[in-house]
Amino acid sequence: MEILVCARRVPDTSENEITLNSAGNDIERDELVYSVNEPDNYAVEEALQIAARIGGNVTVVTVGGEDDEEILRREMAMGANHGVLITDEAFSGSDGLGIATILKAFVEKGNYDLILTGVQAEDGGAQVGGMLAAMLDYPFASLVNSIEVLEGRKLKISREIAGGDKEMNEIDLPCVLSIQTGINEPRYVGMRGIRAVASVPIPTYGASELAVDPRSVGGAAARVKRVDYFLPALGKGAEMLEGSREEVIDRLVGLVAAKGGLK
């Protein structure tokens, strides 16, 4: 099975406190720690496990800039056969539709049976996978948390719905699935693994190679635009307990006891 995984490099919210810059219109981008968008990493692991079970190849693709190559190498160190960087000045400022348009052009150059995305990017809208599927006229399922390959170019999948219940579906190939965290346990990648793929060439594609009309993507074509970031006015806000740890604990125990929180 030929599997394509779409992945993005994002500021890692488990490693950074995301705050506003001093101008108050963007997030503070100095000294951010970046990593693979969390569900995308689960998607790569799932692709690798499927390929190991039934045979096939895993390609990881990202639309971004030069810096984003690092996540492709990371995912290749996990075992992905190929990494592809799609980059072009004309692509910058694309909205979700623009990214899906670019990815569609790339998909059409290949021959993929299965395309995986993450459920949502840290700064995204849980949209690229569903848009890409609709553009390709492939079936789509979101929030996928298990995949079983059936005979006759079909998969049996489960989707995570409310309350942790699972919605079981059968879906025809080729299809696009958005992968939810927890579907598997992504393998660990050490420095040695990353070094081993450090010099593998990574092909890049731009608008002309993909025959994407530059006017159909990028900031100018975007119908959805982020104007700025801001911190919302605090709600009532918590009463912050300050002082030494002993003092804080004394106060807390009193408050919690008053609410019936101590047996």
Partner 1 sequence: MPRIFAYIAHKGGVADDSAAELAAVAKKIDAAATLTAVVMGWGAELDSVCNAVRGSYAEVWKIANESLVYPNAELVRKALVKVLPAGGVVLVTHEHFGIDLAPGLSIKLKAAFVSDVLEIEGVEDAQLKVVRQEFGGQVSAHVRCDISSGAVVTIRPGAFKPLESTPVSGSVNDKSADVGVLTASRRYLQTMVAESGDVDITKHNVLVSIGRGIQEKDNVAIAQELADAMGGALSCSRPVVDAKWLDKSRQVGSSGKTVKPKVYLACGISGAFQHLVGIKGNPFIVAINKNPKAPIFQVADVGIVDDLLEFLPELTNKIREMHGVSAK
Ligand X SMILES: Nc1ncnc2c1ncn2[C@@H]1O[C@H](COP(=O)(O)O)[C@@H](O)[C@H]1O
Q: Where along the sequence are the contacts to ligand X (CB under 6 A)?
A: 6-8, 37, 39-40, 62-64, 96, 99, 117-118, 120-121, 124-129
Q: Which is nearer to partner 1, 182 or 203 (CB)?
A: 182
Q: What is the DSSP string of 12-34?
A: -TTT----B-TTSSSB--TTPPE
- 37 makes contact, choosing from partner 1, ligand FAD, ligand X, none, with CB < 5 to 8 Å by partner type, with ligand X
- 117 makes contact, choosing from ligand FAD, ligand X, partner 1, none, with CB < 5 to 8 Å by partner type, with ligand X
CA distance 77 to 64: 20
Q: What angle do CA 143, 145, 147 make, to 5 degrees?
A: 115
Q: Which is nearer to partner 1, 73 or 159 (CB)?
A: 159
Q: What are phi and psi of 60, to 5 degrees?
A: -110, 130
Partner residues linked to 34 by β-bridges: 11
Give the nearest distance from C-beta 169 to ligand X in angstroms.
20
CA distance 75 to 61: 10
Give the nearest distance from C-beta 82 to ligand FAD in angstroms.
28
Tokens 């605090």 belong to which residue?
Answer: 234
- 40 makes contact, choosing from ligand X, partner 1, ligand FAD, none, with CB < 5 to 8 Å by partner type, with ligand X
Residue 262, token pair as written in the block: 């101590």
What does the binding site for ligand FAD look like in residue numbers (CB under 6 A)? 13-14, 119-120, 143
